[in-house]
Structure 1
Amino acid sequence: MNIYDNKRAVWYVVPAIFILIIFIFLPIILNFYNSTFRWNAFSDNKVFVGLEYYKTLFTDPVFYTALKNNVLYAVISLVFQVLGGLILASILEEKFVRRFQPFFRTVLFIPSILSLAVVGLLWNMMYQPNIGVINEFIRAIGSEDFSFPFLGNPDTAIYAVIFVSQWQYTGYITMLFLVAMQKIPRTLYEAAMIDGANRYHTFVHITIPQVKEMILVATTFTVVGSFKVFDEVYIMTSGGPGHATEVLGTMLFNSGFRNDEMGYASAIATVIFFITIILSFLQLKVSKTGK
């Protein structure tokens, strides 16, 4: 390729770079800029406060409650979505299950295509203490007078909300692993079986190493998603009761659109951005896949 061809190739890249600058990098810079001012949505007046909002944020107990809930979200999601999805995909690839795989793929994938608003409202009704199907089922097999407020109890509310995400996205992660597993040469399993390996050995020594790039993708998707979560928490609890289910996303929303503290909300958004970027780079570094 000569110099002329190199210059011509650059012009094909320019539109993509332009879009990235306008819709990704510029908003990030503007968000940080706005976080250094005290301002609201209904006034043009801006008062420069520097890093004051960051100092306030890191001394706010609600921030640490939200951060703890996001970390809890990430840990539980890694166990259920990534590890659980990997195991489910491995089971679906077994010979005696493979003939029914289309049915299970459909059943597992359907929750992930449902609207988050619909899912939140659906589970909100299911958790309802008096007429919710979950409490009705528990009453049917236990005490007639039993009624537990899953979303109204500060000790259980965050776990009830997190469970909804596991129900919705475990199937999606399972599909990703299925795609990766179907690319593994069957001869590897056949050779291992001839050498006396059982299903546990083939899973650990063949399946996992062969899908390590997909594990990285699923882990990154899950962890970053756990720190960006908002819809289901806001719809089901709005961060309550008493900040028990507060996450960084709901804290940002409440600061910006309920309290009209746009500068403070911008500071929270900047912190979320750096947390997700750092976690993504750490996962890439730890995975050592080179991809």
Structure 2
Amino acid sequence: MPKSKLVPYLYLAPCLFLMALFVYYPIVENFRFAFYEFSAFSPEKVFVGFENFLNLFKDEVFYIALKNNIWYAVISIIFQVFGGLILAAILEDPITRLVSGIFRTVFFLPVVISISVIALLFNFIYNPDVGILNGLLKLVGLDEHTKAWLGDSETAIFAIIAVSQWQSIGYIMMLFVVSIQNIPRELYEAAEMDGAGRIRKFINITVPQVREMFFVATLITLTGAFTVFNEPYILTGGGPGNASEVLGTLLYNSAFFRDEMGYASAIATIILILTLVVSIIQMKVFKTGEDG
């Protein structure tokens, strides 16, 4: 190979080496560990084949966790992606552009706040005795709807999901803001000359022009929904019972509380497969990178 053609590969080599060492090698090792039964405190590993996966698919908690992750994904798409796009379009409208900087800061601020601080904040909001949410419901005469939001098995996962939407919508909104700012103004001016209103311009110009960013935002949101851990672990630890368990907390509890490292590796492998399948489906649906 001529020297001139070899140079680009030399520049890429450090990056490829680091990715292989810290990304692909751990993935391969985790997949291998899923076929063994072993403890974190013992060097001995017993090969069990597909037993960890079979036990996982027989575990009722796994299906509860998977259902909760699916709820996470569906609600996040509605509120973060669609909601973020609508917020971005409103903030980039000529009428609101003068004050949009203030609102962008307000919406983006939760993104940079520590999850520990957010957990303390929402523990206070959801407190059944002195919480703001129950206090507001009592104030408007809806006392029968007050409850222990994080302590009720029917509402715990949805209360946690609400926290994630509040924290993350600002980030997705900013992605759409950048994308909308790159849309040629001539398209909107031509639409105005044709008598198009704001809703028509949003549907016929904004939405098609941000298709690539819509794919990126959806990919980020769905991947985050299937790998979420911090919010459920800090707010409820997967409780009450297993009502707010997600795959991330199930993996953590299996590995570090029950010391079932092979079983935890099987859960991690399932999470990887789910995120890969979702990503491939999205690429096929959005046909990202293709012209037209």
Give, in whole Å, the separation in 1 of the partners of 2:39 and 2:185. 61
Show the counterpart of 2:182: 183
User: Secondary structure at 2:244's aligned position in 1?
Assistant: coil
The one-letter amino acid paired with 2:236 is T
What CA deviation, in whole Å up to 9, does each residue of 1:5-24 have, x standing for no partner?
11122111111110111001
Give, in whole Å, the separation in 2 of the partners of 1:235 and 1:26. 30
Give, in whole Å, the separation in 2 of the partners of 1:47 and 1:22. 25
Give, in whole Å, the separation in 1 of the partners of 2:66 and 2:163. 19
Query: Any gaps of 5 or more consecutive residues in structure 2?
Result: none
Structure 1 residue 289, shift from structure 2 partner: 2.4
Structure 1 residue 193, shift from structure 2 partner: 1.0
What CA deviation, in whole Å up to 9, does each residue of 1:59-101 have, x standing for no partner?
1111111111101100000000000011111111111111001
The one-letter amino acid paired with 2:127 is Q
Show the counterpart of 1:214: 213
Give, in whole Å, the separation in 1 of the partners of 2:146 and 2:204. 47
What CA deviation, in whole Å up to 9, does each residue of 1:109-168 have, x standing for no partner?
000111122212221221111122222222233267974101111111111110000100
Provide closer, same or farther for how the CA distance between residues 234 and 202 of structure 1 changes in structure 2, counting only shifts above 3 A: same
Show the counterpart of 1:168: 167
The 8 Å contact of residues 239 and 245 in structure 1, kept in 2 or not, is answered as: yes
Show the counterpart of 2:152: 153
Structure 1 residue 199, shift from structure 2 partner: 1.3
Show the counterpart of 2:88: 89
Structure 1 residue 194, shift from structure 2 partner: 0.7
The 8 Å contact of residues 80 and 170 in structure 1, kept in 2 or not, is answered as: yes
Give, in whole Å, the separation in 2 of the partners of 1:105 and 1:155. 34
The 8 Å contact of residues 38 and 261 in structure 1, kept in 2 or not, is answered as: yes
Query: Any gaps of 5 or more consecutive residues in structure 1?
Result: none
Show the counterpart of 1:116: 115
What does 1:1-291 align with in structure 2 at a 5 Å threshold? 3-142=2-141, 147-290=146-289
The 8 Å contact of residues 121 and 235 in structure 1, kept in 2 or not, is answered as: no
Give, in whole Å, the separation in 2 of the partners of 1:138 and 1:9. 63
Give, in whole Å, the separation in 1 of the partners of 2:104 and 2:185. 21
Give, in whole Å, the separation in 2 of the partners of 1:6 and 1:170. 44
The one-letter amino acid paired with 2:155 is T
* Identity in percent: 51
User: Secondary structure at 2:96's aligned position in 1?
Assistant: helix
Give, in whole Å, the separation in 1 of the partners of 2:187 and 2:13. 44
The 8 Å contact of residues 213 and 289 in structure 1, kept in 2 or not, is answered as: yes
Give, in whole Å, the separation in 2 of the partners of 1:268 and 1:145. 40
Provide closer, same or farther for how the CA distance between residues 142 and 35 of structure 1 changes in structure 2, counting only shifts above 3 A: same
Structure 1 residue 278, shift from structure 2 partner: 1.3
Give, in whole Å, the separation in 1 of the partners of 2:269 and 2:143. 50
Give, in whole Å, the separation in 1 of the partners of 2:79 and 2:103. 17
